[in-house]
């Protein structure tokens, strides 16, 4: 009987959980600590939410927040290899060798990054898209630095099936039922 009750409680928590997509501006810190410019105060949601992963202070774009801590690890842990897509602007024009080496993996000192998908943004000289299944500390910035580039702008535009879309900087929205169901399906929940 206790097992059935636990399963029912877990099921109800999944059905009624809140997941929001937030377009984090530069300067916001992805922490729940009571410090200036923290993400919790910036979002100002009535429910007690936790960020799912991080974006560094100088990065912007999509970050998810939830009131269900049990799904956080299933989304961010590198063993699950969930895709995260970014648009990156560099200080110099892209070289073909840079794109090739980034896609194959880069030695960033404490790790060699896993192969990833990287494409030049059409009509630009300094902008590319990168899809990672890994999330090392400041990974994209470190990869670019190793190759003598500096990141001018870094924006996450997708986490798994959730896209930033036209969500304005500093705004948030609750996931649609379709998005939430697809996310839970990808997480095998």
User: In 10 A of CB 176, how many CB atoms?
Assistant: 11
Q: How far apart are CA 133 and CA 173, in angstroms?
A: 25
- Two tokens at 88? 């990156």
For residues 161 and 84, the answer to whether their CB atoms sit within 8 Å is no
| 155 sits in which H/E element | strand 151-159
**Catalytic residue chosen out of the listed positions 41, 56, 67, 148:** 56
Token pair 């984090």 is found at: 24
For residues 171 and 165, the answer to whether their CB atoms sit within 8 Å is no
For residues 6 and 13, the answer to whether their CB atoms sit within 8 Å is no
For residue 79, indicate whether it is catalytic. no
Instruction: Write the DSSP string, 101-139.
Output: HHHH--B-SS-BPPP-EEEEPTT-SSEEEEEES---TTH
| CA-based nearest residue to 163, from 150, 175, 171, 145 | 175
Active centre residues (catalytic):
56
């Amino acid at each position: 009987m206790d097992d059935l009750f636990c399963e029912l409680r877990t099921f109800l928590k999944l059905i009624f959980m809140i997941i929001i997509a937030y377009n984090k501006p530069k300067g916001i810190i992805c922490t729940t600590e009571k410090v200036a410019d923290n993400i919790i105060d910036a979002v100002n949601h009535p429910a007690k939410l936790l960020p799912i992963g991080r974006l560094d202070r100088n990065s912007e774009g999509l970050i998810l927040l939830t009131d269900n801590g049990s799904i956080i690890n299933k989304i961010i842990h590198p063993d699950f290899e969930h895709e995260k897509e970014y648009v990156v602007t560099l200080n110099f024009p892209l070289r073909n060798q840079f794109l090739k080496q980034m896609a194959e993996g880069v030695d960033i000192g404490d790790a060699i990054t896993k192969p990833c998908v990287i494409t030049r943004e059409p009509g630009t000289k300094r902008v590319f898209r990168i899809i990672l299944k890994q999330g090392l500390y400041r990974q994209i910035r470190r990869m670019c630095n190793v190759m003598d580039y500096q990141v001018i702008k870094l924006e996450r535009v997708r986490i798994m099936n959730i896209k930033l879309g036209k969500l304005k900087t500093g705004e948030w929205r609750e996931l649609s039922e379709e998005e939430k169901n697809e996310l839970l399906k990808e997480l095998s929940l």
